[in-house]
Amino acid sequence: MTAAVLRSRLAAFDVERLRADFPILGLEVNGRPLVYLDNAASGQMPRAVIERLVRYQSTQHANINRAVHHLSEIATGEYEEARRKLQRFINAREDREVIFTSGTTESINLVMQGYGRKFIGPGDEIILTTLEHHSNIVPWQMLAQEKGAKIRVVPVDDDGELLIDEYEGLFNERTRLVGVTQVSNALGNVNPVGRMIAFAHARGVPVLVDGAQAAPHMRVDVQELDCDFYAFSGHKMCGPTGIGVLYGKAELLEKMQPFKGGGDMILSVTFDKTVYNVIPHKFEAGTPPIAAAIGLGAAVDYLSAIGMDAIAAHELELLTYATGKLNGMPGVRIIGTAQQKASVLSFVVDGVHPHDVGTLLNQEGIAVRTGHHCAQPVMQRFGLAATSRASFAFYNTLAEVDALVAGIRAVQKVFA
Amino acid sequence: MAVTKALYQEVILDHNRKPRNYGTLENASHKAEGHNPLCGDHISVTLAMDGECIGAIAFQGESCAICKASASMMSAAVKGKTRTEADALTAEFRDMATGKLDPAGPHHLGRLAVFAGVRDLPTRVKCAILPWHTLHAALNSVARTSTEAEDDPMHAPIGGA
């Protein structure tokens, strides 16, 4: 894309109009306008989604898939319509490939329980990367411990880029699964998952992609990626907490064992034999978070109306601007300098612990995350216990980046 | 806002820049490691007990300014104190940091009262308490402690561990 085309697209991207959709962005914190830069942890919700939740609870709620009465039929219809919205959002082949979960963590645990416990055994190997969030490490460690399987880890270079040669060298005849994050939550790298998936498939190995930090920020096409599983969370992409998605290829989901037992995931139950329901219901035991699923459906409608490419372009401008500003600040060092990044800027300030940075920025109304970002192996790789992390959404502005820069200067002044 | 500014006042920043009793005692009779897994803060406390008295104390570690200043000021405050006096001070400090002790009322904390402001920053209370928690562990010959799970200083009794 040429600079001129990019500029004209950005001109059409009216960030102030979008900000007006988010009631919470009008808050003041410590007497200053809120500058919300903790989007990688959780995003904010636009009025359209809030109102959708209110409308559902006010006029449409009942339990789904059960009764023949009016409200139950409406609720079931809306819930399944939300599933189709999510199917279109990630371009899944069929709606039954979209399973509603409580979030990315549960999605990954579902793959571990449903696929891993059935198809991974003693001596088998799982490939993960240094960049994984704890939620894509710990379930596999639990499985490895239970089954006597082994975890192999793809290292990163000093920029935080995955070493793809090393990745390819980890494969052997015992490799059973690859788990990789599309975007690192701690550093912001966009990993070459397409290439990694093609390599794994050439060896008959399925791939689980953690899309928690990718789905809110870029167009996701699971058919183009050809991933076997794709996990993401609603609350990072304008939706409610407590809802997320596991996409899985139908033939894999059908081979898997159920994750949780209960109502709705069965066709018939006797004390002699229970027959499991078809996918996706096989994996949705009990009453699901119906309102949250419908809210997430409204959230992807909202995002699609803006356009994921427009969102990605605006966020890239924010990231590029912020990277330039922070690189120009003496005593500030950016952690994670990969070529391709999305929306995340991790940094350290010389002589100031990230928690002090976070507390003092909060004094200016600026919300950043400080700590290990639930990705301790990445932190260990860079010899850090913690960083400060600013993470952007499409509703952030260049002026908010300026506020961050001024805030960091104020921190340095306190500690000078 | 004023609270945060007050907390990061000169005395805390001074102890962060020039921590007192920083290092490890080679002739330590008691030592403990304290860890806050939520933020990665890590601190070691070594003591040379002279009977019931803390003859010498040193601390070392990687931590935020609030934790480091708290450790520095703690080391100055408890040196020469008896185990019982140190425990009493630890209990008072914890109560002040958690808002149970009014720093305007009677107490023995002296300049340590500058940490009163952490009560308004719930996520930072444990930063200030970690050194005291580690001191308590060292005095009771506990090698390692943490700010989380069963070692959580918010719940663990002080004085009778």
**Residue A1 in this model has a pLDDT that exceeds 70:** no
- Spatial separation of the C-alpha atoms in residues A271 and A377, rounded to whole Å: 46
- Please state the rounded mean pLDDT for residues A330-344: 96
B128 touching chain A per CB within 8 A: no
H-run or E-run covering B14 = helix B10-17
Task: Provide the pLDDT confidence category of residue A66 given band limits of 50, 70 and 90.
Answer: confident
- Spatial separation of the C-alpha atoms in residues B97 and B113, rounded to whole Å: 9
**What residues make up the domain containing B133?**
2-151
**Residue B161 in this model has a pLDDT that exceeds 50:** no
Q: Report DSSP state, residue A239.
A: S
| More confident position, B55 or B12 | B55
**Residue A204 in this model has a pLDDT that exceeds 70:** yes
- Spatial separation of the C-alpha atoms in residues A376 and B37, rounded to whole Å: 10
- Among candidate residues A207, A374, A403, A408, the one labeled active-site is A374
B63 touching chain A per CB within 8 A: yes
**Per-residue pLDDT, B67:** 94
A378 touching chain B per CB within 8 A: no
Tell me the shortest Cα–Cα distance from A386 to chain B, in angstroms.
Answer: 7
What total number of domains does chain B contain?
1
B155 CB-side CA count, 13 A: 7
A350 touching chain B per CB within 8 A: no
B39 touching chain A per CB within 8 A: yes
B4 touching chain A per CB within 8 A: yes
In this predicted model, what pLDDT tens digit does every residue of B5-34 receive, in sequence order? Answer: 667 887 888 898 899 999 999 999 999 999
**Per-residue pLDDT, B141:** 83
Q: Is residue B158 part of a domain?
A: no
**Per-residue pLDDT, A65:** 85
DSSP result, A39-80: TTT-----HHHHHHHHHHHHHT---SSS--SHHHHHHHHHHH
Residue (of A405, A338, A327, A378) closest to A185 by Cα position: A378
In this predicted model, what pLDDT tens digit does every residue of A349-364 receive, in sequence order? Answer: 999 999 999 999 999 9
Q: Report DSSP state, residue B82.
A: B
| More confident position, A197 or B42 | A197
A295 CB-side CA count, 13 A: 29
DSSP result, A339-355: SSB-SEEEEEETTB-HH
pTM attached to this predicted model: 0.91
Q: Which residues 6+ apart lie within 8 Å of B130 measured at CB?
A: B34, B36, B41, B43, B63, B67, B70, B71, B147, B153
Q: Which of B1, B8, B39 sits opposite A371 (nearest CB)?
A: B39
End-to-end CA distance of chain A: 43
Instruction: Calculate the average pLDDT of chain B.
Output: 88
Q: Report DSSP state, residue B123.
A: G
In chain A, domain spans: 3-33+307-414, 50-305
| More confident position, B147 or A221 | A221
Q: Is residue B27 part of a domain?
A: yes
Q: Which residues 6+ apart lie within 8 Å of A165 measured at CB?
A: none
**Residue A416 in this model has a pLDDT that exceeds 80:** yes
A374 is annotated as an active-site residue: yes
Q: Report DSSP state, residue A33.
A: E
**Per-residue pLDDT, A167:** 98
Q: Which residues 6+ apart lie within 8 Å of A318 measured at CB?
A: A343, A392, A396, A397, A398, A401
Q: B97-134 burial by CB neighbour count: b if 16+ within 10 A, else e?
A: bbeebebeeebebeebebbbbbbebeebbbbbbbbbbb
**Per-residue pLDDT, B10:** 77
- Spatial separation of the C-alpha atoms in residues A140 and A378, rounded to whole Å: 17
In this predicted model, what pLDDT tens digit does every residue of A215-266 receive, in sequence order? Answer: 999 999 999 999 999 999 999 999 999 999 999 999 999 999 999 998 888 8
Q: Is residue B160 part of a domain?
A: no
**Per-residue pLDDT, B160:** 39
Provide, as residue numbers in chain B, all residues whose Cβ is less than 8 Å from the Cβ of A355: 39, 41, 64, 66, 123-124, 127
Q: Which of residues 82-111 of B touch A (CB under 8 A)?
A: none
**Residue B110 in this model has a pLDDT that exceeds 50:** yes
Q: Under CATH, to which class is A50-305 assigned?
A: alpha beta
CATH number for the domain that contains residue B42: 3.90.1010.10
The complex's ipTM works out to 0.83
- Spatial separation of the C-alpha atoms in residues B12 and B17, rounded to whole Å: 9
DSSP result, A319-331: HHHHHHHHHTSTT
**Per-residue pLDDT, A135:** 97
Contact B40 A379 (CB under 8 A): yes
Number of H helices and E strands in chain A, helices first, is 16, 17
**Per-residue pLDDT, A6:** 52
**Residue B159 in this model has a pLDDT that exceeds 50:** no
**Per-residue pLDDT, A51:** 98
**Per-residue pLDDT, B13:** 86
Q: Please provide the CATH number assigned to the domain covering A3-33+307-414.
A: 3.90.1150.10
- Spatial separation of the C-alpha atoms in residues A25 and A114, rounded to whole Å: 40
- Spatial separation of the C-alpha atoms in residues A106 and A139, rounded to whole Å: 10
**Per-residue pLDDT, B1:** 46
Pick the range with the lowest mean pLDDT from A56-65, A184-193, A328-337, B139-148.
B139-148
* Angle ∠(A219,A5,A223) on CA atoms, nearest 5: 20
Q: Which of B3, B5, B7, B8 to mutate to test the interface with A (most CBs of A within 10 A)?
A: B8
Cβ atoms of B62 and B42 closer than 8 Å: yes
**Portion of chain B with pLDDT greater than 90, in percent:** 62
